[in-house]
Amino acid sequence: MKKKNIRRNPACAVLLSLCAGWAFAQGEATTDFASYLDAVEKHSLDLASQRESVTSAQAGVSIAGVRPDPNLSLGIGPKEFSGAIDPKPPVAKSIGLDWVIEMGGKRDKRIKAAKSNVALTEANVEGFKHQLYNDSATAFAEACRTREALVRQESSLKSLSDVVRANEVRRKAGDAGGLELLQSRTERDQFQAGVVKARADAKAALVNLSVPLGRRFGELFGQARLDCGFKPFALEEGVDNETPGSPPSRTLTVGLSIPLPFSRLQKGEIIQAESAVTQAMLGLRAAELKTDAEVRSNYAQFLAARENLRRYRESVLADSDKVLSGMRLSYRNGQASLLEFLAAQRSADDAYQAFLQAQADLATATVQLQLSVGLRPAL
């Protein structure tokens, strides 16, 4: 009963929703990118608004097919009111029906133009969906990156705190000077400020998942943890791996129907129609070139991102962790200075942050490549 009363309070409801959205769940429930993307397509407010434009354009086809209304006319008269005229002529009554008949196939041309507008509107919606998918993937990858970055920074903070505690013990035992303790404590406190910001970044990234979703993330997925285990993208699904210079192109064709009233003697409208056709063909060619360049560029970015991530996984991370472990042991044994240990810690942390960024870059590049070759994004 108390829970119900709390939810009726708007301020409490907002606070509860924020707490639910910012909490990182430790349970088994997870949300992968495919589930998130399905929810975006279903609940996106902007996409729903764009789809309404298609409904409006489809209604325009029905409107274009309306024929001119018939005109029913009723008449009476003339009636003579002059007293000088006698006998009065009889009052005439009349009834008429006027119906304009359109010639030259005007109605058919209006319908074709309306259908062409529907196709154009649908293409615009697909273009908007393309961008929405891209924004959703970027938001999801960023939420994963900031979460893992926070985990790493909290682990490093714990390591630095352990060093401070060890130096406090050594200081009491007379094995360490006050300057070394002060320096380790300063380094720990400065690093803690970065952790505070990392927590805020992780919370903000999680909240930003609601923007393309059209609802608060917690309303649909509760406290489910993001599944950031992105699967490698198989190149053969969209691009020929042996011919990276010539991947298949995804083109967009837009039809345009222009009424051509040949029954008229003047040729102005004919010239306009021919010019519109020429303009449409030039636009189509420009779109083909732009799409081809987009695919090639996205392919190159994908290969670079994949190679960078492979290098971090296979060598950089392992090497930096080995250096840090060795330097930590050397510092404990008195064979390395505090500055050397801190330098190794920073280097290992920087390498891991760069690895997370490379992972996010590959996710973004993968989605952009998939979209450019006409595939639904999958991570």
- Annotate 37-64 with b (16+ C-beta within 10 A) or e (fewer): bebbbebbebbeebbeeeeebeebbeeb
Indicate whether 305 pLDDT > 80: yes
**pLDDT score recorded for residue 22:** 41
Per-residue pLDDT tens for 309-351?
999 999 999 999 999 999 989 988 888 888 899 999 999 999 9
**pLDDT score recorded for residue 311:** 93
CA gap 83, 90 in Å, rounded: 15
**pLDDT score recorded for residue 169:** 87
Q: Is 363 helix (H, G, I), strand (E, B) or coil?
A: helix
Per-residue pLDDT tens for 214-228?
989 999 998 889 999
Indicate whether 246 pLDDT > 70: no
User: 29-59+104-372 domain in CATH 3.40.50.720?
Assistant: no
The more confident residue out of 249 and 269 is 269
Tell me the average pLDDT across 283-304.
84
The more confident residue out of 45 and 235 is 45
Q: What percent of the chain has pLDDT over 90?
A: 40
**pLDDT score recorded for residue 236:** 58
Give the start-to-end residue ranges of the domains of the chain: 29-59+104-372
Q: How many Å separate Cα 184 from the centre of its chain?
A: 43
